[in-house]
Amino acid sequence: MIGEPLRLVVIGTGYVGLVSGACFAEIGHHVTCIDNNREKVELLNGGGIPIYEPGLQELVTRQREACRIEFTTDLAKNIKNADAVFIAVGTPTGRVEGEADLQYVFAVAEELADIISDDTVIVTKSTVPVGTGDKIREIIASKRPDVSFHMTSNPEFLREGCAVMDFLEPDRVVVGVDSDKARAVMGRIYEPMTNQGVNILYTDIRTSELTKYAANAFLATKIAFINEMADMCEAVGGNIEDVANGMGMDHRIGRNYLSPGPGFGGSCFPKDTLALRKMGFDLDVALNVVNAVIDANDARKRAMAHKVIAALKGDIQGKTIALLGLAFKANTDDTRYSPALVVAEELRRAGASIQAYDPEASDQAKEVLGVDNITYVASLQDALKSADAAVIATEWDVFRALSPQEFREQLKHPVVVDLRNLYRPADMKEIGLEYYSIGRS
C-alpha cells in the first residue's frame, strides 16, 4: 500500500495505543507496541486483546500474522532504528483541581532520554496540556544534551466503540511540528491515508495540543446544550428530537452530538474539560463556557436519578430497580465517568436495590460500585424480573431490540425511565407502560 514502510514504536497499548498501533500496521508500517504492564503484553502475545473494541481483535490478529505488529515490554531494545516513537500512555485527571496527571508521560520522557539516538522523532498521541511537548523536550534535553531529536504533537480523535474506523478514516489528522524532518516523517506515516483523501492540518506544537482540547470541549458543549433544551421541552411540552433536527439541519450547526441523554461520560470529555478549565485558570483566561458545561453535566447525571425517583412518585425506599447499561455509552466496556454509575450510586443512597445488566461492562462497574445493594445479572431478562422500574442508561442495541411487551411481562410495576430515548412513547403507552424519556413530554 505504501512505497517504504516505516518502523514505528507506540508506547502504551490502551485504547489509543493499541488501536493506533494496529491501524498503522494495517496501512503498511512495521509497529512495535510497548507496554510496561507485563500481563497486557502477555495477553496480546497470546492472541488476546485487553479491551472490548469492535473489529480490533480481527485487525490485531491479521497484523500479527502478517508480522507487521509485535508486543513487548522492552523499549530500549526496540527504539533503535525507529522512524518515530509515539507516546500513547494515559493522562488521567490528577489530584489538583482537574489538572491532567502527566506522571506517565514524563516517566516515558525520562526513559526515552536514557536510550534515545540522534534524529528520533517523538510524537505525543496522548491528550496533553499545552506546553507538554516543551516539557518533554526539556526533560530529554537536560539529560541528553548530546542528541538532537524532534518533538511532534499528533492528537488522536478516535471514539471508543468505533475506534478502528475513526482511526483509518478520520475527518482530519492534526500534526504539530517545528522541524522539517518531523513534518516529512509524519507526512510519510500518514501517506497511505492522505493518498485516500484524508487531510493533514499542520500547525505548531502548542496549537495542536490546544486543538485537541478545543474539539472535545466543543462537542461536550453541544451535548450539555441539547440536554438543557431537553429540559426546556419537558417544561413547555415540546419534542427534543424535532428541536435537534430543526437545529441540526442548519449546516452551520450540524446534527451530530445533539442527542440528549443522561450527560456525557467516558474517559475523555469529563477529564479533558476539567484539564482545559485548569489550564485557563492557571493562565488567567476566563473559560466561562467550559466551566458551565462541566457544572451542568455533573448536575445532569445526578438529576437523572431524581427523574427515576420522581417516576416512582418519590417512593424509592426498598424498591428494586432494573438498571440497563453501565458503560458510558454503547459498544464499549468502559465505565469511566459513566452516568449510569452516578445514577446507581444515587438510587442506592436513596434506599433502592439495583439489578444491573450490561453486555460488556459489569466487571468494570463492580470494581467501582462494589456489591452493596447491587447485583450484576447475566441477562437482560434477569435484570427486569420483578423489578419496580426499569432504567435505560446506555444505548446498547440489545436494549433497543427489546419489545415493549417484554417490559410489561417481566417488570413488577410497569415503569420505564429511558435516559437514551430508545423507544417511541406511543408504543410504550399503548401497552400500558408508564414511560418517561428525555425531552419528549
CB of 119 to ligand UGA, least distance (A): 30
User: Does residue 157 bind ligand UGA (CB under 6 A)?
Assistant: yes
Which partner from the list ligand UGA, ligand NAD, none does 35 bind, CB cut-off 5 to 8 Å by kind?
ligand NAD
Q: Are strands 320-324 and 200-203 parallel, antiparallel or unpaired?
A: unpaired
CB of 244 to ligand UGA, least distance (A): 8
Identity (one letter) of the amino acid at 398? V
Tell me which residue has its CB nearest to ligand UGA: 268
Q: Are strands 149-153 and 173-177 parallel, antiparallel or unpaired?
A: antiparallel
Measured between alpha carbons, how far is residue 434 from residues 387, 388, 409 in Å? 14, 11, 14
Total residues belonging to the chain: 441
With a CB cutoff of 8 Å and minimum separation 6, the contacts of 17 are: 10, 11, 33, 35, 86, 88, 89, 125
Q: Which stretch binds ligand NAD (CB under 6 A): 41-49, 102-110, 387-395, 408-416?
A: 102-110
**232 in Cβ contact with 296 (< 8 Å):** no
Identity (one letter) of the amino acid at 276? L
Which partner from the list ligand UGA, ligand NAD, none does 91 bind, CB cut-off 5 to 8 Å by kind?
ligand NAD
CB of 127 to ligand NAD, least distance (A): 4
Q: Binding string, 183-222, against ligand UGA, x = CB under 6 A?
A: ---------------------------------x--x---
Place of cell 399503548: 430
8, 16, 296, 354: which one contacts ligand NAD (CB under 6 A)?
16
**273 in Cβ contact with 265 (< 8 Å):** no
DSSP string for residues in 291-345: HHHHHHHHHHHHHHHHHHHHHTTT--TT-EEEEE--SSSTT----TT-HHHHHHH
Which partner from the list ligand NAD, ligand UGA, none does 275 bind, CB cut-off 5 to 8 Å by kind?
none
120, 154, 259, 355: which one contacts ligand UGA (CB under 6 A)?
259
162 is catalytic: no
Binding site for ligand NAD (CB under 6 A): 11-17, 34-37, 40, 88-91, 104, 107-108, 126-127, 156, 158, 160, 267-268
| Residues belonging to the active site | 268
Binding site for ligand UGA (CB under 6 A): 127, 156-160, 216, 219, 223, 257-259, 261, 264-266, 268-269, 328-329
